[in-house]
Copies of this chain bind each other. A is one copy, B any other.
Amino acid sequence: MNNNIIQHIRKFIDLNDSDEVAINKYIETHQFEKKEFIMHEPKVCKHLYFVEKGCLRMYFINKKGVEQITQFALEGWWISDYQSFMNNTPSDYYIQTIEESTIVSIDNQNLDKLLNELPQLERYFRLIMQRAVAGAQHRSKLLYEMSKEEFFFHFSSSFPEFMLRVPQYMIASYLGLTPEYLSELRKKYI
């Protein structure tokens, strides 16, 4: 059953067996094939998604009609369109599997119920969100101070597992490089 998410929560707070039962009452776990959609625009994003196993990408379609990837998520990461989730507004995003994946999800109503039943989980989600804010601040600083080439090298050395699991054209989209240029960079420097 959902081992990774329970282990993940236990890194931040204590859980006893009955807490675990309560959590499993409110979350759902689904298996997805490679390239399956977990979330579609223009639907409201009603869920937070946790990657038990596999890999996800989140993207929107830009004005030129091209997919623009804004985020990835590997095992142990949470992903969602938080604006859509919080405000109940349609999302511009797609979330899709890159590999066969096992995804845990919880919708806003069940999240409320879970947090009412186990208020100590507020702490877990507070710390997860705080970590996401720290990550976004760090990424924004890198984008201010690095050229796209430097960002690519930083990304390659920080996330070597990513580079092996994610197709090159997706990494190019995320980094704002053309696939051809990324391919040149890889040939030259890796």
Binding site for B on A (CB under 8 A): 60, 62-63, 68, 70-71, 81-83, 85-86, 92, 115, 119-120, 122-123, 125-126, 129-134, 136-141, 143-145, 176
Contacts and interface: CB of A to CB of B under 8 A. Distances in A.
Contact of A130 (B62, B82, B92): B82
A130 B131 CA distance: 10
A141 B86 contact: no
Contacts of A68: 144-145
B137 A70 contact: yes
Given A119-B122, A125-B130, A132-B133, 19 more contacts: A60-B145, A62-B145, A63-B145, A68-B144, A70-B137, A71-B137, A81-B137, A82-B130, A82-B133, A82-B137, A83-B138, A86-B130, A129-B129, A129-B130, A129-B132, A132-B136, A136-B140, A139-B140, A143-B143
A86 B131 contact: yes
7 contacts: A82-B137, A85-B134, A86-B134, A125-B126, A125-B130, A126-B129, A129-B129
Contacts of A119: 119-120, 122-123
Contacts of A115: 123
Residue among A126, A133, A134, A141 having the largest count of chain B Cβ atoms under 10 Å: A133
